[in-house]
Amino acid sequence: MEEVKFNFEDLKVYQKALNFTDFTYELTSGFPSSERFGLSSQFNRAAVSIALNTSEGSGDTDSQFHRFLQIAEDSVRECVTCSTIALRRNYISIVENNKARVLLLEILKMIRRLQRYLKSKKEK
């Protein structure tokens, strides 16, 4: 059977966002059970939001895609805050926090490059 693939699945930022989501779910699995509906849930939802907004926006106009990428960028910042809180609560180590920040910075740079590309297309 032939594999069905959507165009947005080729976006590197989308693939990185999925990888970060996997990382986040693994990371939050070690959080206390009391955080199941708190920080764990929020961190995972913010990570998922990066991939969701990247994929959802890609099927729309360039200006709408830019708007969805802005939402994804907001979710990146939310993940930074979740990671910081997790570190301060001793749910994760400094190394895990730094890894999250490195991954998020890479995703953020990719989002911003894609936004600049969309803006340059509009100006032509």
pLDDT tens-digit readout, 27-67: 999 999 999 999 999 999 999 999 999 999 998 899 999 99
Is residue 27 domain-resident? yes
Distances (CA, A) of 45 to 9, 14, 77, 120: 20, 15, 13, 31
8 A C-beta contact, residue 21 and residue 98 = no
Answer whether residue 123 shows pLDDT above 80: no
The DSSP letter of residue 7 is G
Position 55 scores a pLDDT of 96
pTM for the full model?
A: 0.94
Instruction: Round to whole Å and give the CA distance between 122 and 32.
Output: 47
Does the pLDDT value for residue 107 go beyond 70? yes
Asked, for residue 3, whether it belongs to a domain, the answer is: no
- Per-residue confidence (pLDDT) for residue 124, from 0 to 100: 66
Domain containing 108 equals 9-123
Residue 2 domain-assigned? no
CATH number at residue 82: 1.20.1440.60
In a domain, 4, yes or no: no
